[in-house]
Structures are given as C-alpha cells and as structure tokens.
Amino acid sequence: MDHYDIAIIGAGLAGSLTAIALARKGHRVALVGPKPAIADGRTTALMDQSIGYLKTLGLWDETEPLTAPLVAIRILDGTRRLFRAPPVNFRASEVGLAAFGYNIPNSPFLDILEKHETALSTLERTTAAAARFDLGGAEVLIGLGDGRTISADLVIGADGRRSTVREAAGIDVKTWSYPQAAIVLNFGHELPHQDVSTEFHTESGPFTQVPLPGNRSSLVWVKPHDAEETLKLAPDALSRTIEDRMQSILGKITTEGTPQSFPLSGLAARRFGKGRILLVGEAAHAFPPIGAQGLNLSLRDIMTLVDLIGRPAGSRLPADTGDRFDGRRRADIVSRTASVDLLNRSLLSNFLPVQALRAAGLHLLASAGPLRGLLMREGIHPGSALQVFKEGLREQIGRKSA
C-alpha cells in the first residue's frame, strides 16, 4: 500500500493548486480525482495577492498570455428603483497598483496546472475517484474506485460542494439558496474594454463584464430562475440582448460558444478542518460569483495550509493539523461569506430602507476617496485596511505626542 504525506481529493483548480504548492515544498503528494467531464467555460478574476502566489509557484509566465489585467472596476446602478446610486469607479492606480488582478479562463488554466503536475517527481496523479475513508488509525486509509488503497498523514478535501471528505470527517454544513442562476459566457465586442470591468447592479443581481485579451470579455449574468429561457435564445438574439443590457458601451456584441448556467446557492462548513482532515475551496465555502472572491478565498486557504504544514521534517505530520487550520481560516471565511451574502440580498430586497442604505453606501464610496482606498486594499489584501488604519492612528498619536 502506497503511503503519502498528503492526499488531496478533488483535481479542480483548488485541488491542483494545493497539490503543486505542497509538492514544491518537498512533500510526497497524491492528487486524487477524475478529470472534469465538461470543460469549464467560466473565467476567474484573481487579485494581486493571488497573482503573487502564482508567481511563487512558477505558474505565472505560462498563464499571463491567457489573461487580461483589471485596471479599473466600474459599478453602475442598473435598477429602476426610487433610491438609485451614482456610478462608482475603483482604479488600481489609487492604491499604487498597475492592476487589481487578472481575469483567467478556467479551462486552459487547468491545462497548465496539469502540465506542471506531471513535472513534479513528488506528486502522483490518479484519475480514480476516492470511494471510502478510514479515519480511525494513525494514518488515513483511502479506498480508490480502481480497487487500490492508499494511506496519508493528512487528507485535504478539495472535492467541491458535495465533498465526500467532509462527509467522512462528520463535518456538518450550512447551505442556503437564492432565487437566481448565473449565466456565464464569453463574447467579442466592437469597442475596446480598456481593461475595465463593468458591473451593472440590477434588481435580479449583478450583470458583470470582465476583460479578456483583445476585444473580448467574459460575462457573469445573475438573474432569476428563468435562465433556461435565455439559454434557448439564438446567438444573434442573445448577442443583442447582452448589448442592450450593457447599454452598448462596448458597441456590437457577438457571443462565443455555448453559454452555461449555474444555480446560485451558498455553503459554509461548520468546521474547516478536523484532526487529519482539512477542507479548501468549495468543500469549505461557496457563495455567488460577486466581487471576485471565490478562488481568491480558496488560494488563501492554500497559502495558510502550506504555511501551517511547512516543509517535510522526517516525521509524521501532526494529527491536529486540521484543528489548527480551522482556527486560522475561520475569521476570513466567515467574514467574506457574510459580506457576499449581504451584498447579493441587498440587490434582491424590495424593502425601501435596505435600498436606501445600499444607495447611500455607494454615494459615500463615490465621493470619499480615502474610504474607497481602504475598501480596495481590503479586497486585494484582506486585513490590509485594518493595518493601514492602525498605522494612520499611530502616526497621528505620534504627532500629538511630539
């Protein structure tokens, strides 16, 4: 029976990135899970902190040509409500960056990760599914769908919302749903996007255009559960509908390929680690595609666990690693999940005081540069806004003392 330091269950983006990061540290890693049956047509906007981590993993040089930078994010109120907000523009230059991050197509990004996996001598990839787990001994036993059994000191669940790892560990989960679905597709357009992402806030949710290389963009269109009717539109009709929704700010629109639709829901594990089990990505947390938080939050999971596990020390990895991981990740995951949920529900709410508060908040962001800067820093590097506030307060106290 083959033994590994760490077995990672789930070979999507989160699992693959975790496997590469731990293998580069020198751990013997098993990455377990079948390849996706359908190519992922979505894109992912990774912020500056996440891009920096890709660079440390040696992944950025191959990935960058696929991407488009996000130099600005524009929020437009697309509602017809009594309380409407002004346009709000967030520019990376306001916080000293050339770009907030980069928009990356998921499917070719996963191809790059698979290429790097095969080049790592301490990483073994198996496309068999994990069928059963025995957590009762000094190591975790994992029965695979091809009949083999492997063992590991630690098991990382990166196997999505219906995580078998989470279930085997007896970790409960809180789930909730929204009366919405997200339509995702890529499209070409007549006018340049100038590396600006535009997010229309509508009564049914955000309608978000994110730049791709050239005169192309990706779209995440959150709307009520009539998404199937939209998917049935002929390409010309769908292109025209999107152009109208975007108020023709990018000129003529031409959709590419086949759009995909995903029902929107949320998930939060009661614990993010337990004993020899750690949960990352959507096995631990999931929420609507708002504010480019999903994979960025997952990468912070990965950064934390890699730092916690460290380099091989010639001994078994500690049996309480999952419990310590849970403590480190709780505040970040809980706060991000609550923030995205609140923002989405505020768009759906017909309660006038909620609409007024949302509009007032956007008015304040549009007019208050320092507050806008703090929010941008917090979105890019969580915890940095508080650090900036502390440093400013310390400087003021120092001046008064002098």
275: left (phi over 0), alpha (psi -120 to 50) or beta: left
pTM: 0.86
- What tens-digit pLDDT sequence spans the chain (402 residues)? 799 999 999 999 999 999 999 999 999 999 999 988 777 878 999 999 999 999 999 999 999 999 999 999 888 876 665 456 667 788 898 888 899 999 999 999 999 999 999 999 999 999 999 999 999 889 999 999 999 999 999 999 999 999 999 999 999 999 998 888 889 999 999 999 999 999 888 777 789 999 999 999 999 998 876 788 899 999 999 999 999 999 999 999 999 988 988 888 899 999 999 999 999 999 999 988 776 677 899 999 999 999 999 999 989 999 999 999 999 999 999 988 888 887 776 665 453 444 455 555 554 555 555 555 556 566 666 665 545 444 444 555 555 555
Chain centre distance of CA 34? 21
In the prediction, which pLDDT does 342 show? 77
Q: Which residues contact 224 (CB under 8 A, 6 or more apart)?
A: 179, 180, 181, 204
In the prediction, which pLDDT does 392 show? 47
> CA of 121: how far to CAs of 20, 68, 309, in Å?
11, 32, 19
In whole angstroms, give the CA distance from residue 134 to residue 137. Answer: 7
In whole angstroms, give the CA distance from residue 50 to residue 18. Answer: 13
Decide: residue 312, CB within 10 A, 0-12 exposed, 13-18 middle, 19+ buried.
middle
